[in-house]
Amino acid sequence: MQTKFIMLGIESSCDETAAAIVCDDKTILANNVASQMDMHAEYGGVVPEVAARAHLDVIDQVINVALEDAGLSIAEIDGVAATGGPGLIGGVLVGTVTAKAIAAARCIPYFAVNHLEGHALSGRLTDEVSFPYLLLLVSGGHTQLLAVHGPGQYERYGTTMDDAAGEAFDKGAKIMGLGYPGGPAIERCARDGDPKAVQLPRPLRGAAHCHFSFSGLKTAFAQRHAQLEGVSNAVADLAASLQAAIADCLADRTKQAMQQFAANYGESTLVIAGGVAANAAIFTQLEREALKAGFRLSVPPGYLCTDNAAMIAWAALERREVPHALDFEPLPRWPLDPDATPPPGQGVRR
C-alpha cells in the first residue's frame, strides 16, 4: 500500500499566523489560523512591525495545535513548507526560519512557496480542476488574471495598474468608519443599501486589454461620501454602490480574459481565489459572466480563500519532487509570471 506524503504548511506573510497539515490525497488533517485582525483594527490596517512580533509570539503554538488537531507528532511529518514571499518581509522571515529549523532538525525536505501560487492552486485542493485554467486572483494586495498551465507555469493576462480591489474595499470602509478589514465590513453594510443609489465610475470598462484600475474609483467614492455625509441611509447606499462598482470592474475585465483564454485554449474553468473571492455579490456577478462564456466556475471554500496554511502545504505537494535548499532567501516580491508585459504606460511591475 502506498504511503501518504504528509506536509506541514506555514503561512505568515501578512496578519495571519497559520499552520496546516495536508496529505497528498487532498485530505486536510488540520488547518489552524491565529488572526491578528483585532490587533491591527485600531490602526486601520496592518502594521508590519507589530505583525512580525505577533507571528514570532504565536507560531510555535499554532504549529503545535495543528499537530494536535491532526493527531500527529512532528516525527510523522514528511515535509515542511512555508510562504517564502511575497509579503511583509518580517512575517515571511518568521515562517521561513521556523520551517527551515524543522526541516534541518528532522532531515526532511523544505519547500519555499510563493504565497500567490498558494492561492492560484487552492482550487485544485477541494475541486477537480484540470490544467490549463483561467484564474482571477483577487485579494487585499493583488488583482490579477492568469492562465494557469501547471505549478510554476503562469501566463499573466492582466494586473492592477494602481490599486488592488481589496485596497478599494479597505479605503472605502475607512472613509465610512466601518473598520478593518474593509471587504467584509462593506459587504455587511451593503445589505441594507441600494447598489444603484450612488453613481460611481467603472474604470477601464470595455478596454481591449485585461488590466485593472481602482485608484480613480477610490477618489470618486471619497468625493461622493463627502457630498452625501449626513444623508439618511447614505452609508448603506455608498457601501452597496462601491461593492457593485468593484464587482462590475472585476466581471468586465474577467470577461475580456475569458475571451482571450478561450481563443487560445478553448472554454475551460474559471477559478476565483483570494480573500475578495468570498464576497457574495462579486461571486454572483462572475458566475453570470462565466456561464455566458461557457466556463465552469470554481471557487474554493471561504476558509481557503483568505490567507491560510492549507493552500501553502498543497502548493508544496503539487511540486514536492523539487524541494528548496535551506539557503533560500525570502522574497518580498515574487511575481508568478516574471516575464509578463507590464500594463500600458508602466515599467515592469513586480
Residue 350 has pLDDT above 50, yes or no: no
Cβ within 8 Å of residue 140, ≥6 positions away: 14, 164, 166, 167, 170, 181, 183, 274, 275, 276
Per-residue pLDDT band at 1 (split at 50, 70, 90): very low
199-216 pLDDT, tens per residue? 999 999 999 999 999 999
Q: Could you please state the CATH topology (level 3) that the domain comprising 132-299 is classified under.
A: Nucleotidyltransferase; domain 5 (3.30.420)
258-274 mean pLDDT: 96
211-232 mean pLDDT: 94
Write the class of the CATH domain 6-121+304-318.
Answer: alpha beta
271-328 pLDDT, tens per residue? 999 989 889 999 999 999 999 999 999 999 999 999 999 999 999 999 999 999 999 9
8-36 pLDDT, tens per residue? 999 999 889 999 999 999 999 999 999 87
114-171 pLDDT, tens per residue? 999 999 999 999 999 999 999 999 987 899 999 999 999 999 999 999 999 999 999 9
- DSSP bridge partners of 297: 270
Distance CA 70, CA 73 (A): 9
Most confidently predicted of 101-110, 174-183, 278-287, 338-347: 101-110
Residue-range domain boundaries for the chain: 6-121+304-318, 132-299
Across the chain, how many H-helices and E-strands are there? Answer: 12, 10
Residue 4 has pLDDT above 80, yes or no: yes
What integer best gives the mean pLDDT of the chain? 93
DSSP-derived secondary structure for 266-317: -S-EEEEESGGGG-HHHHHHHHHHHHHHTPEEE---HHHHSS-SHHHHHHHH
pLDDT of res. 230: 83
